[in-house]
Amino acid sequence: MANKSEGTVMSLGITYRESPRTGYAIYGPLSVNKQPMVAIVDTGSTSTLLVWKEWYELFTGLGACRTFMFVCFSCSDPRGPPRVFKVRNTQLFAFEYSANVFGADDISFGLIGGQDPPPPMFPSANYLGLKPDIDGTGFSLMDQLRSKRVLKTATFTLFLRPTKESDIFRGKLILGGVDPTQYVIPLRYVPLLSIDDYVVELRSLSIQAGRTTLGINQRATIRTGDNYIRIPSIYSTGLVQALAGAASNIRGQKVDIVFDGKRNSYIVDCPLRKYLPSLTFYLGPDGDVPLEISSQGYVRKFVGAQPCTVMIMPLEGYTWQLPAGALVGNYIEFQPVDNRLGVAKLKPGP
């Protein structure tokens, strides 16, 4: 731990799991005015946003915050007018407010006092946004902790390990630093293609026991607030067919992956999920940085749903999106100041 003038490194335990209301997400801790809270960790959002108790209970009933897993923040005088944020397909209206966050005074965050669609039509949540706030219009916790010399650097690190429960993963969010004891050497660096997002070059993709798709030469964005590997539509159908073929090769019998119109997603029988192959994305200008996503990272069992969901979704355009599941079994350092990501395989856990 560094001295106060140099800043410190904060290591926070995180969990990737399904919540009854907000679904699968990476959930991490916050401390606001010494009150423990929970937030969704999102590299696709710039801001720290907390649910305002007085607003939330107007929509959900008096006392609703007592069972709200994220914990509401209560105050009587948020500053206006509200700013508008789009997070996880929801439009949020947040007032500026300042409090003590992680032991640092006068940290500004957004106090959610409006939502479209409103709760309970769409579940509310607290958010810890880690995307660079280049224009300063958001409420970046990293920027503020760095400017107050609470954090040692602007770097943060994320990783997730499987647990004994097939759809629960645990790991760390390290604010202000790295942890070389967690990964298998080598750690390879990938240049970022944008100063305001975690976008890298995707050169090619390989499928375990299957084929390699060469010459993709497109962009990929890391979005830990999302759960789907989002693939340009020109590749999506062929990729799913290739996954089914590779799974059949691994099993030695046919494995079907079919599209379920009601769910608007691809599905596979849960007992067969273990046969689905890993996907290796080759990143960087030379395609020499592999990021492997196993089936644990892209096949989910939702509570009360059969069969399992293959978390692959087509999108318009040409930028791929890699979700929270990309962290399963992987160690990623986000270094916005140096304009790069550090990528390595995660060491097995205890």
**Omega of the bond leading into 336 within 30 degrees of 0 (cis):** no
- Cα of first residue to Cα of last residue in the chain, in angstroms, is 24
Instruction: Tell me the average confidence (pLDDT) per consecutive run of 10 residues in the chain, 350 residues long.
Output: 66 96 96 97 97 95 96 88 90 96 96 93 96 91 95 97 95 98 98 96 93 89 97 93 96 97 94 97 97 97 90 94 98 97 93
* Cβ proximity of 276 and 241 under 8 Å: no
Give which of 167, 206, 208 is closest to 296, Cα–Cα.
167
Q: Give dist(CA 4, CA 347) in Å, integer.
A: 31
A 10 A CB-CB count for 81 gives: 8
State pTM to two decimals.
0.95
What Cα–Cα distance (Å) separates residue 29 from each residue in 125, 183, 280, 304? 13, 23, 31, 27
Burial of 14 (0-12, 13-18, 19+ CB in 10 A): buried
**Structural domains of the chain in order of their starting residue, each with its CATH number:** 10-148 (2.40.70.10), 182-345 (2.40.70.10)
SS3 category, 233: helix
Residue 160's pLDDT is what?
99
For 6-52, the DSSP string reads T-B-EEEEEEEEEETTTEEEEEEEEEETTEEEEEEEETT---EEEEB
Tokens for 62?
A: 């008096």
Q: Give dist(CA 139, CA 108) in Å, integer.
A: 6
Q: Give dist(CA 292, CA 144) in Å, integer.
A: 33
Q: Give dist(CA 3, CA 22) in Å, integer.
A: 38
The Cα diameter of the chain in Å comes to 64
